[in-house]
């Protein structure tokens, strides 16, 4: 395990696994129960600094870059990605490596789903806190395992947008200026965009590029062959869900009702969107700490 660089109460973190290095950030609190946080598709651990920093008073926080994101060096071949099992297996390998008890597994979007999938069958999990988990209907997950899925997935707006995303610029300053004009980032809390780009960009020698390649982001959006609801039904610990009521939510009405039938605690925010951790980091910190 290696560490370098500190910023705003956090320090870089890396752990060597058999296939490569998992990276991220630590908000360390020795003796406190451990919390693992996993990010959304296309993002990275650094994007959540403002949300995770306050948790250092209650938890010993690990925030990981998933495979193909941030500084993670594990192999990421889009042609081989059919489900999120590879992310789940990486997280489980990390938990085995750390060998601690009473984990709170938490995440946002993709990360929330992976946290749930990772916890299934484990005895070292005390709670699951999921922000806007990607909760697809069961029929769609089954369709995603069939030969016709690639044709269907190629037409999905998120997949198409990600595949066309610009990936290289002359400088970080150019990216900040460009993204700052986009509607997606307009209602983010001050400083969160810069936090994301800390590890969301990688140096190329002639400029910068997205750390998460557009082809990998697109493949991740398309990789929906995940038995999410089976994992939810067999969760090893209490489940707490934060869901947005806006149209961008990945935990819509049918999913919220199903979560409640499974006994999950549900927090619904009428004002938040899918990117609530970027828009309201302090409020989401309170959700994770509760």
The stretch 47-69 carries a mean pLDDT of 95
What is the rounded average pLDDT of the residues 158-180?
95
Lowest average pLDDT, out of 81-85, 182-186, 273-277, goes to 182-186
Kindly report, residue by residue over 73-117, the tens digit of the pLDDT: 999 999 999 999 999 999 999 999 999 999 999 999 999 999 999
Q: Provide the pLDDT for residue 187.
A: 92
Q: Where residue 46 sits, what CATH number does that domain have?
A: 3.40.50.1820
pLDDT of 4 above 70: no
Q: Does position 158 have pLDDT exceeding 90, yes or no? A: yes
Query: Does any domain span residue 274?
Result: yes
Q: Does residue 133 sit within a domain?
A: yes
- Averaged over 18-42, what is the pLDDT? 94
In a domain, 58, yes or no: yes
Task: Print the domain residue range for 239.
Answer: 6-148+223-289
In sequence order, the β-bridge partners of residue 64 are 24, 38
* Domain assignment of residue 209, yes or no: no
pTM of the model: 0.95
- Residue 276: pLDDT band by 50, 70, 90 thresholds? very high
What per-residue confidence (pLDDT) applies to 6? 44
Mark 52-71 as b/e (b = at least 16 C-beta within 10 Å): bbbbbebbbbbbbbbbbbbb
Q: Over the stretch 65-78, which tens digit does the pLDDT of each residue have? A: 999 999 999 999 99
**Domain tally, the chain:** 1
Residue 180 lies in a domain: no
Is the predicted pLDDT of residue 56 greater than 90, yes or no?
Answer: no
Q: Span 205-231, mean pLDDT?
A: 96
Confirm if 90 and 67 have CB atoms less than 8 A apart: yes
- Answer yes or no: is pLDDT of 124 > 60: yes
Percent of the chain, pLDDT > 70? 97
CA end-to-end span of the chain: 30
Band of residue 289 on the pLDDT scale cut at 50, 70, 90: very high
Using the predicted structure, report yes or no on whether residue 2 has a pLDDT greater than 50. no
Residues 6 or more apart whose Cβ sits within 8 Å of residue 264? 232, 235, 238, 239, 240, 241
pLDDT at 236 over 90: yes
CB 195 within 8 A of CB 159: no
């Amino acid at each position: 395990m290696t560490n370098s660089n500190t910023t705003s109460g956090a320090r870089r973190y890396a752990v060597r696994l058999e296939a490569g290095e998992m990276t991220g950030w630590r908000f360390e609190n020795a003796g406190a129960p451990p919390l693992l946080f996993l990010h959304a598709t296309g993002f990275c651990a650094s994007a959540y600094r403002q949300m995770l920093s306050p948790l250092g008073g209650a938890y010993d926080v690990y925030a990981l870059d998933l495979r193909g994101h941030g500084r993670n060096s594990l192999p990421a071949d889009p042609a081989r990605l059919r489900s999120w099992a590879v992310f789940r297996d990486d997280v489980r390998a990390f938990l085995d490596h750390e060998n601690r008890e009473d984990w709170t597994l938490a995440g946002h979007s993709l990360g929330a789903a992976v946290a749930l999938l990772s916890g299934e069958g484990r005895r070292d999990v005390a709670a699951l806190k999921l922000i806007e988990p990607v909760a697809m209907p069961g029929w769609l997950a089954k369709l995603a395992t069939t030969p016709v899925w690639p044709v269907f997935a190629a037409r999905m707006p998120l997949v198409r947008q990600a595949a066309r995303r610009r990936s290289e610029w002359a400088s970080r300053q150019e990216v900040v200026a460009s993204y700052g004009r986009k509607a997606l980032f307009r209602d983010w809390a001050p400083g969160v965009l810069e936090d994301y780009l800390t590890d969301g960009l990688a140096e190329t020698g002639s400029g910068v590029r997205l750390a998460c390649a557009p082809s990998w982001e697109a493949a991740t959006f398309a990789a929906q062959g995940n038995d999410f609801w089976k994992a939810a039904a067999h969760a090893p610990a209490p489940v707490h869900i934060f869901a947005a009521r806006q149209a961008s939510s990945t935990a819509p009405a049918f999913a919220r009702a199903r979560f409640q039938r499974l006994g999950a605690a549900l927090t619904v925010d009428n004002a938040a969107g899918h990117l609530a951790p970027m828009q309201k980091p302090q409020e989401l910190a309170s959700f994770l700490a509760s």
